[in-house]
């Protein structure tokens, strides 16, 4: 009795305790088995022998347990000393609910393990298993939703608004990037929608269920960039956290890392970023261990990286690593044909926040077209928001409402565009169509079938338009 009490206090099972409890367990179970320190079978009862279809129990004695029961985890219990109180094991297309316990000698050394088959038929456990599976699915769904909320995306490809040839080409390349797990380089002025496009690419890629982590390189001090990217080991420097601090690469593992304004990255960090991309591993600050990472990088910049390479401020090898698929995003002044649909989308979004329904007239759109938009779509949103806030016509924005809020030089909007004479609409549309066809033919290298696909029209329609142009 004293020995049993001491065993319970040590939270271990001794041979004596096993022998005392064994008859009760064996009677309540559908089978029982014992193994020694080398996971060889030392005993098996008749019911388990019949369950396993062994015939004579004596044939199993002395054999490695996995030679008789291939999917058993008894060697694991003997090796670790940790019990497996409830497990489902498959044997010969049959599912068995088993419990496995290690047992010890008087010196506290593991000398073997025992296992009992609690159920050889899962039917009585169906309600419990079903409930467990539902809870497991609910937990997985909740974790997925939380992860997407914390490190997910807000934008889809539909949020990159525009129907001009330039905008359609951007979307075509974005869809191409989404279907291929490769680095992407977004080139465009500030405010053109580079992050919208990066999130859109991630949202329709194979990594959509994984994190999307964005970092603006220009917004982080140079001395903090390495820690921000690669993380910090405990006690890496004076005042450092005693816990591991994950960097952006670890947070984005399995998903997409968006590097905004990558052209502002200092040269020493460029070398470390290149190694991380080439080797698929990083080394946290203050650590001697490398950490494998699986990250798809989308980089963006408003700077001329080729000019920076020529002057030695950007590494050419990093540029070629990032620029596998390049997507130039045109400035707003080069796609003024999209102004109308952009205004509709922006006013709808602004109106939701201000609880005001906003509309813009054709004259209002024409007023916007006279400005050169150095801040691009971000500036357009600001102008519309100010006009809607200051407007007095129930949310309708005409030319006067726009001119009141446009940046001015004297009494006229600042513009680098020369004034254009007003021409008949038919002539303007014909010239725009001809230019689009010419650009498509150049892009397709004269292949008219490909040019028609780029334009979104049939080949016969393209031939008709070419005939009218000749």
What Å distances lie between residue 366 and 76, 199, 273, CA to CA? Answer: 75, 31, 46
Q: Contact 329/197 with Cβ under 8 angstroms?
A: yes
DSSP reduced 3-state for 270: helix
Q: Contact 188/329 with Cβ under 8 angstroms?
A: yes
What Å distances lie between residue 171 and 159, 212, 262, 457, CA to CA? Answer: 11, 19, 22, 17
* pLDDT the model gives residue 271: 92
Per-residue pLDDT of the chain (470 residues; tens, 9 = 90+): 334 334 444 445 666 666 666 676 666 678 888 899 999 998 888 888 888 888 777 888 899 999 888 889 999 999 988 888 888 887 777 778 888 989 888 788 888 999 988 877 666 666 666 676 677 677 766 655 555 554 567 888 888 999 899 999 999 999 999 999 999 999 999 999 999 999 999 999 999 989 999 999 999 888 888 889 998 887 555 555 566 788 999 999 999 999 999 999 999 999 999 999 999 999 888 888 889 999 999 999 999 999 999 999 999 999 999 999 999 999 999 999 999 999 999 998 888 766 778 889 888 898 899 899 999 999 999 999 998 888 766 678 888 889 888 886 533 444 443 445 667 777 777 888 888 887 877 677 667 888 888 888 888 888 888 877 76
Q: Contact 366/399 with Cβ under 8 angstroms?
A: yes
Fold of 157-327: Rossmann fold (3.40.50)
Residues 6+ apart with CB under 8 A from 252: 151, 210, 211, 212, 213, 293, 295
332-413 architecture in CATH?
A: Orthogonal Bundle (1.10)
What is the longest distance spanned by two Cα atoms in the chain? Answer: 108
Query: Hey, which bits of 410-459 come out as E strands?
Result: 412-413
Give the DSSP per-residue string, 284-333.
Answer: -BT-SS-EE---EEEEEESS-HHHHHHHTSS-HHHHHHHTTEEEE---GG
Can you give the residue ranges of every domain in the chain?
2-121, 157-327, 332-413, 425-469
* pLDDT the model gives residue 421: 61
425-469 architecture in CATH?
A: Orthogonal Bundle (1.10)
Q: What are phi and psi of 436, to 5 degrees?
A: -65, -40
Task: Tell which residue, 233, 248, 349, has the closest CA to residue 285.
Answer: 233
Q: Contact 199/242 with Cβ under 8 angstroms?
A: no
2-121 architecture in CATH?
A: 2-Layer Sandwich (3.30)
């Amino acid at each position: 009795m004293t020995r049993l009490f001491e065993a319970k206090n040590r939270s271990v099972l001794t041979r004596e305790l096993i022998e005392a409890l064994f008859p009760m367990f064996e009677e309540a179970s559908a089978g029982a088995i014992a193994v020694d320190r080398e996971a060889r079978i030392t005993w098996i009862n008749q019911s388990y022998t019949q369950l396993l279809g062994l015939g004579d129990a004596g044939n199993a004695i002395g054999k490695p347990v996995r030679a008789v029961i291939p999917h058993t985890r008894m060697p694991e219990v003997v090796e670790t000393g940790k019990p497996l109180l409830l497990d489902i094991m498959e044997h010969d297309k049959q599912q068995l609910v088993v419990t496995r316990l290690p047992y010890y000698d008087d010196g506290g050394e593991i000398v073997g393990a025992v296992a009992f088959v609690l159920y050889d038929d899962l039917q009585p456990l169906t309600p419990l298993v079903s409930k467990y599976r539902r809870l497991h699915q609910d937990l997985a769904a909740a974790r997925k939703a939380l992860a997407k909320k914390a490190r997910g995306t807000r934008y889809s490809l539909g949020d990159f608004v525009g129907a001009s040839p330039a905008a359609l080409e951007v979307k075509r390349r974005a869809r191409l990037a989404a279907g291929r797990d490769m680095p992407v380089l977004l080139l465009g002025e500030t405010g053109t929608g580079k992050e919208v496009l990066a999130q859109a690419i991630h949202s329709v890629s194979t990594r959509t269920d994984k994190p999307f982590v964005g970092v603006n390189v220009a917004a982080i001090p140079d001395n903090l960039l390495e820690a921000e990217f690669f993380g910090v080991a405990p006690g890496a420097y004076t005042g450092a956290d005693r816990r591991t601090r994950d960097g952006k690469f670890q947070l984005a593992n399995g998903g997409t890392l968006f590097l905004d304004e990558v052209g502002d990255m200092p040269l020493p960090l460029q070398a470390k970023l290149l190694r991380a991309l080439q080797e698929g591993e990083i080394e946290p600050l203050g650590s001697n261990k490398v950490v494998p990472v699986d990250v798809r990088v989308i980089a963006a910049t408003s700077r001329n990286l080729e000019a920076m390479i020529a002057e030695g401020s950007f590494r050419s090898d990093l540029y070629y690593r990032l620029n596998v698929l390049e997507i130039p995003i045109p400035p707003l002044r080069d796609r003024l044909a999209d102004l109308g649909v952009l205004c509709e989308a922006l006013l709808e979004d602004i109106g939701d926040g201000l609880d005001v329904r906003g509309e813009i007239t054709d004259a209002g759109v024409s007023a916007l077209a006279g400005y050169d938009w150095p801040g691009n779509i971000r500036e357009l949103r600001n102008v519309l928001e100010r006009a809607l806030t200051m407007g007095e016509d129930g949310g309708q924005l005409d030319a006067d409402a726009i001119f009141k809020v446009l940046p001015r030089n004297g009494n006229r909007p600042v513009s680098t565009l020369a004034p254009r004479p007003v021409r008949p609409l038919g002539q303007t549309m014909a010239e725009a169509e001809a230019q689009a066809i010419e650009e498509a033919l150049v892009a397709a290298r004269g292949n008219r079938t490909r040019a028609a696909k780029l334009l979104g029209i049939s080949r016969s329609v393209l031939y008709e338009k070419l005939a009218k142009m000749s």
